[in-house]
Amino acid sequence: MAYVLGIDLGGTKALAGIIDVETGRVLSTAKKRSRAEHGPDDLIQRLVTVADEAVKQSGVRRTDVRLVGIGVAGQINRHRGLVISAPNLANMSNVKLADIIKDQLGIPARLFNDVEAAAAGEASFGAGRGKKDFVVVFVGTGIGGAIYRNGQSYGGATHTAGELGHMVVDVNGRLCGCGGFGHLEAYASRTAIVRSILAGMHAGRESMLRDIATQINPNDPGGSGIRSKALAQAIDAGDALTHEVLLLAADYLAAGLASIINFYNPRLIILGGGLVEAVEVFFTAVCSKTRNAALQVPRQHIEIVRTALGDNSGIVGAAVLACSA
């Protein structure tokens, strides 16, 4: 058996699992929260802790774990194992994460972008299996993307292709976490949705999320407190403010996806992330609005689906990529 430790470090969680990379089977998983206030050193320690827990729960000997694959929500230099910039991870920057994890765990480590990893998981064992050309978009704390061409991940000139969350949808628009203005992520990510709901409540709108909102760290409104599950519960309860904000976010995400369809003309778009998985009305609205906004010919040949691996896409893909790096 070929066992690899896959790690997915996102804006709200660190998830680790032991993966049989020959079959894609997940033997065990372990999870810890990750928040902006934790700081880079704390986040790294959480990665080590969650990795140790995943190994222990799997029943696999540490010496049988060949590699560690790490997917990080940010821009990375995979050849140097370097996190260049991660605005949603305590602004982690210029951190040689692969070397740090290797030293801490005693296992060779490889570093990748988190959605690049998720796309590899879906390509190998999920919704992209057997497909040569598709685009993956994950909606969570931020918005990330990845492109598959001719059965291979396409990284572009600097291996940073796929940053779909930073497409400009309003040239004079909202400030994005990366420092730019009017980026898709500032309108359609869960962070953006939470901020809009909080603004509505501050203006006097009623919402069943008000009690949760009082517990939110004001310096980190998108990374804690109101999560995708709470948004889904609010929708199910008929919360008008949440419904309104989610549909507006769906408009923006659909505009971004329609732009991808018009420009790149993929046959398949795979959507993932907590918001897509948990909130049915959001996913349905995005699919419908995307088709309406795209050009007539390419929209007739586009398929939009959810991930098949769900929350495990990232750890499975990170393990797969680690073996091929």
pLDDT at 41 over 90: no
pLDDT at 317 over 70: yes
Q: Quick one: 153 and 194 in the same domain?
A: yes
Q: Quick one: 247 and 143 in the same domain?
A: yes
Residue 42 belongs to domain with CATH number: 3.30.420.40
Q: Quick one: 183 and 316 in the same domain?
A: no
Q: Which of 84, 102, 101 is nearest to 93 (CA)?
A: 84
- Residue 226: per-residue pLDDT: 85
Q: Quick one: 69 and 209 in the same domain?
A: no
Query: Model pTM greater than 0.85?
Result: yes
User: Domain span at residue 283?
Assistant: 130-307
Q: Quick one: 197 and 116 in the same domain?
A: no
Other beta carbons within 10 angstroms of residue 251's beta carbon come to: 16
Angle between helices 39-58 and 97-105 (to 10 degrees): 50
Q: Quick one: 13 and 79 in the same domain?
A: yes
- Residue 129: per-residue pLDDT: 96
Q: Quick one: 138 and 284 in the same domain?
A: yes
pLDDT at 86 over 90: no
Q: Tokens 């991940």 appear where?
A: 153
